[in-house]
Amino acid sequence: MSNRRTFAIISHPDAGKTTLTEKLLLQGGAIHLAGEVKARGQARRARSDWMKIEQQRGISVTSSVMTFEKEYEGETITFNLLDTPGHEDFSEDTYRTLTAVDSAIMVIDAAKGIEPQTRKLFEVCRLRSVPIITFVNKVDREGRPVFELLDEIADMLALDVSPQMYPLGMGGQFEGILDFASGKVARPEGPSKEFAGQRDDNVELAGEIAENVELAQIGYPEFDLEAYRNGDLTPVYFGSALKNFGVEELIDAIARYAPPPRPQPAGEEQISPERDEVTGFIFKVQANMDPNHRDRIAFMRQVSGTFKRGMKLTPSGLGKPIAIHSPILFFAQDRELADTAEAGDIIGIPNHGTLRVGDTLSEKNQVRFTGLPNFAPEILRRVVLKDPTKTKQLRKALDDLSEEGVIQVFYPEIGGQWIVGVVGQLQLDVLVSRLEAEYKVGASLEASPFATARWLKGTDAALKNFEDFNRANLAKDRDGDLVFMAKSPWDVGYQQEKNPELTFSATKER
């Protein structure tokens, strides 16, 4: 079985993703945290290669993929942690990254519970039944009652929860965390009350805490590997990323339960990670920060085979093979075969725009991965040209940039005001600056009456009928597919109810 675990962290800003990432990297022997960990030998070379690329290209890849290793039950497990950009760089890439992982950790702030962004990201995971381990963070501070949190996760996400630990008090009363599997308690030590690494064996619990611990164990479903792997049940861990509690248990849980690379859908077929041929798909393309440079890094999730530096692969969008001479491989620390990558690994491929989001790369050019969707935009804007004679250039640019995955474009059935859609504000800034720099098109963005969009599916007759009555709210995307432009989420629900013969889809296969 593969020793790879490729995963992402989903959370709302401020829940502690960055702090937890740092702790995971420190616990595992990570090399990829520039400045944090002393690099040696191969590791040093890999790191400096990388930073050179970053400098030359102005593309920050440092945190895109973080690799670390840890021994678990006599085996070395390699973890690939994929960054899910949040805060101001939240974008469709954040969603698409979740299509390139085999599992996720959901970090929740113990004082806040499920927050909007966590929920959105969770829904994206659910689309592909990505298994989720929950980490309730910040138990060193005053938080909400444990059972309230567990029930909220279960109710809001319609998911079975199976607690694997219990925090003995929170905030000022915090005395440590009981791990059900080992029966041991990790206790805070020293002036800053960090976890020192010793676990207390002979735990006598009394009173209310003893009762609650019992209730947590018998009142919720037992852990069931199959239900977890199907995305129906989440094991719940508690801890403090800041004080280093529960982090080791969390890594062990990923090593033990999280799935190794899963087969990936390619039409009717499932491509197994055991296949000899190297295959993979592009889930993200990062453009140079400096819009005058067209350099890009395309991120490929490897699905099968053993990749070697210099290998020739054929991108589905191009049809002819390209040699991959200077890939960015995100190595783990002590790997001997540092020039190869396996199923589950991520490879960064420098290019000048030949590689697009959704492309398949393969040796034989016979496989096409499917299932990498576009996601319904959450911000929609009208594009207003500064120079009206540039309509043709604008159309070309919008088609290109939507093809590349930067934005989505919608051409309304009535009127000539083109609309762009994104899931994060930053994408709009990128759009305006790239229009200007690469296409010499000056444009501004104005409010649009629409809040989101849904791809329509149904019989020709049903679509035609809907079209006749709703032309003012319909548009075509870059492929000419029919899209319902909704003024609010409520609008979507209302129309879906009124038109049960149509589906209003929040995603579209690329």
Q: Which residues pair with 505 in a beta bridge?
A: 455
| Residue with smaller CB distance to ligand G4P, 213 or 241 | 241
User: By CB under 6 A, is residue 23 in contact with ligand G4P?
Assistant: no
DSSP state for residue 222 in the 8-state scheme: P
Smallest distance from the beta carbon of 19 to ligand G4P, in angstroms?
A: 3
Apex 399 CA angle, 392 and 361, nearest 5: 145
* Backbone phi, psi, residue 421, to 5°: -130, 140
Smallest distance from the beta carbon of 25 to ligand G4P, in angstroms?
A: 13
User: By CB under 6 A, is residue 33 in contact with ligand G4P?
Assistant: no
User: By CB under 6 A, is residue 117 in contact with ligand G4P?
Assistant: no
Interface with ligand G4P (CB under 6 A), residue total 15
Which of 6, 99, 117, 137 is in the footprint of ligand G4P by CB under 6 A? 137
* Residues 420 and 431: beta-carbon distance below 8 Å: yes
User: By CB under 6 A, is residue 16 in contact with ligand G4P?
Assistant: yes
- What is the C-alpha separation between 329 and 342, in angstroms, rounded? 10
DSSP state for residue 221 in the 8-state scheme: P
| Residue with smaller CB distance to ligand G4P, 70 or 138 | 138
Q: Which helix (H) or strand (E) holds 411?
A: strand 408-412
| Residue with smaller CB distance to ligand G4P, 143 or 412 | 143
User: By CB under 6 A, is residue 242 in contact with ligand G4P?
Assistant: yes
- What is the C-alpha separation between 326 and 349, in angstroms, rounded? 7
Tokens for 468, please give them.
Answer: 């006749």
| Residue with smaller CB distance to ligand G4P, 15 or 227 | 15
Task: Write out the binding residues.
Answer: 11-18, 83-87, 137-140
User: By CB under 6 A, is residue 11 in contact with ligand G4P?
Assistant: yes
Q: Where are the beta strands (DSSP E) in 65-184?
A: 65-72, 75-82, 103-109, 132-137, 160-163, 165-168, 176-179
| Residue with smaller CB distance to ligand G4P, 19 or 333 | 19
Site string (320-359) toward ligand G4P, x via CB under 6 A: ----------------------------------------
Task: Write out the binding residues for GTP.
Answer: 11-18, 83-87, 137-140
Smallest distance from the beta carbon of 56 to ligand G4P, in angstroms?
A: 28
Q: At what angle do helices 247-257 and 17-27 cross, to 10 degrees?
A: 80
Between the CA of residue 146 and those of 149, 214, 287, what are the distances in Å? 5, 13, 43
User: By CB under 6 A, is residue 13 in contact with ligand G4P?
Assistant: yes
Q: What is the contact surface with ligand G4P in residues (CB under 6 A)?
A: 11, 13-19, 137-138, 140-141, 240-242
